[in-house]
C-alpha cells in the first residue's frame, strides 16, 4: 500500500521539490498550503490551512496520513520589524509545531520529520571543528532559539505519545530557484562585477536541494531514523572564494575576485555595522555528517559541482 505523506510548507523552495520527488517515488502526496493560488505545479492533493498557528485545525489534513514532513516555519528575517521577535518566532515555530504534532499523534500518524536548522547548533565553527548532532545546542538569535525549543518539545512529545520524530538540521540550501543571498551572488557573478572576496580561506558546509530532499525521503521510512537528529550537507566544504569561482564556472563567466585581506573586510564591515554580513562571508560553519551517513547508509546523491551546474542552468534560463 502506498504511504500518504502530508507536507507542510509545500509551496516553498524545499517543499515543492520534496512533493515532486515523493510523487516520483510513488508516495501519495498531500500538500498543506496557506495560499491556494500558489499550488500550481504541486502533485497530489492540496489542503489549505489558512492559519498554521496554535489554533489551526489539522484534523482533515491528517486523515489517513502515514507520515508528516513539517517544513512550514517563520524563517530568519534579515530586517526584523516585529517589536517582539522571540514571541513571533515562538508562536509559529514552537506553538504551531506542537499543535501539528499533537494532532498527528492523536490521528495515529507514525512518523514526523521535522526540518529544523543548523542555527540550533550555533552561528559558526572554528576551521576543522565541525558541528555534530550531539553537540550542546548554542542558538544565538530568536530563529535558532525557537527551532531549538521546537526540537525539545517534539522529543518530549515523542516520549509521551509514541510518535516517531526525526529531526534534520540543514545548513544553507541551494539549488534551482534559490533566492536571497545565493541569488544575489549569481547576479554579481553573471554581471562580471569585481568582488573583494578572493582571499577568504574559510570553510562552509552547504547542501544542495536534491541532497536535502533525498535525505528527507530516506528519513520517512528508514528504521534507524526514528527519534534521531541528523545534520546534512553535500559532504564537501568550500571557502567563500572557492564557491564564487566554482559558481562562476557553472555560469560560464570569469570570477573577478580581488584578494582583499579578511582583516580589512571585517574592519570595513564593523564601520558599516555589517558584522553579520562579514561573518557569513568570512567565517566558517562546518558540519560532520558521518552519523547521517553511517546510521542511514546515506551518501549525498549529487556532487556540489553538479548541483551548482543545475542551479546555474535554472538561473540563466530565467533571466
Kindly name the residue from 27, 114, 131, 143 that is annotated as catalytic. 143
Our answer to whether residue 143 is catalytic in this structure is yes
* Nearest residue to 238 via CA among 225, 228, 249: 249
Torsion angle of the four alpha carbons 225, 228, 229, 232, in this order, in degrees rounded to the nearest 10: -20
- Note whether 244 and 195 are within 8 A (CB): yes
CA distance 54 to 51: 8
* Nearest residue to 184 via CA among 11, 315, 16: 315
Q: What is the number of alpha carbons within 13 Å of residue 76 lying toward its C-beta?
A: 16
* Nearest residue to 140 via CA among 290, 283, 291: 283
CA distance 121 to 144: 8
**b/e string for 282-297 if b means 16 or more Cβ within 10 A?**
bbbbbbbbeebeeebe
> Which residues are identified as catalytic?
143
Amino acid at each position: 500500500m502506498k504511504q500518504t505523506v502530508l507536507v507542510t510548507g509545500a509551496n516553498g523552495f524545499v517543499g515543492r521539490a520534496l512533493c515532486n520527488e515523493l510523487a516520483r517515488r510513488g508516495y501519495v502526496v498531500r500538500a498543506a498550503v496557506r495560499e491556494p493560488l500558489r499550488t500550481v505545479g504541486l502533485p497530489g492533493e492540496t489542503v489549505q490551512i489558512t492559519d498554521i498557528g496554535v489554533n489551526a485545525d489539522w484534523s482533515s489534513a491528517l486523515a489517513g496520513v502515514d507520515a508528516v514532513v513539517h517544513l512550514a516555519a517563520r524563517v530568519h528575517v534579515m530586517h526584523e520589524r516585529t517589536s517582539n521577535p522571540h514571541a513571533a518566532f515562538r508562536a509559529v515555530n514552537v506553538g504551531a509545531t506542537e499543535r501539528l504534532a499533537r494532532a498527528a499523534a492523536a490521528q495515529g500518524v507514525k512518523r514526523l520529520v521535522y526540518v529544523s536548522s543548523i542555527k540550533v547548533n550555533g552561528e559558526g565553527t572554528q576551521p576543522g571543528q565541525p558541528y555534530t548532532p550531539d553537540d550542546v545546542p548554542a542558538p544565538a538569535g530568536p530563529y535558532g532559539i525557537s527551532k531549538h525549543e521546537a526540537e525539545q518539545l517534539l522529543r518530549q512529545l515523542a516520549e509521551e505519545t509514541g510518535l516517531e520524530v526525526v529531526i534534520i538540521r540543514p545548513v544553507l540550501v541551494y539549488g534551482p530557484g534559490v533566492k536571497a543571498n545565493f541569488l544575489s551572488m549569481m547576479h554579481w557573478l553573471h554581471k562580471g562585477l569585481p568582488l573583494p572576496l578572493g582571499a577568504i580561506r574559510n570553510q562552509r558546509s552547504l547542501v544542495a536541494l536534491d541532497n536535502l530532499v533525498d535525505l528527507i525521503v530516506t528519513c520517512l521510512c528508514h528504521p534507524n531514523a526514528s527519534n534521531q537528529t541528523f545534520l546534512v550537507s553535500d559532504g564537501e566544504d568550500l571557502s567563500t572564494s572557492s564557491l564564487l569561482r566554482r559558481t562562476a564556472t557553472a555560469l560560464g563567466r570569469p570570477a573577478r575576485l580581488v584578494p582583499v585581506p579578511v582583516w580589512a573586510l571585517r574592519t570595513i564591515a564593523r564601520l558599516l555595522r555589517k558584522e553579520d554580513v562579514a561573518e557569513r562571508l568570512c567565517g566558517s560553519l562546518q558540519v560532520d555528517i558521518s552519523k547521517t551517513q553511517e546510521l542511514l547508509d546515506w551518501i549525498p546523491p549529487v556532487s556540489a559541482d553538479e548541483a551548482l551546474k543545475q542551479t546555474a542552468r535554472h538561473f540563466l534560463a530565467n533571466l
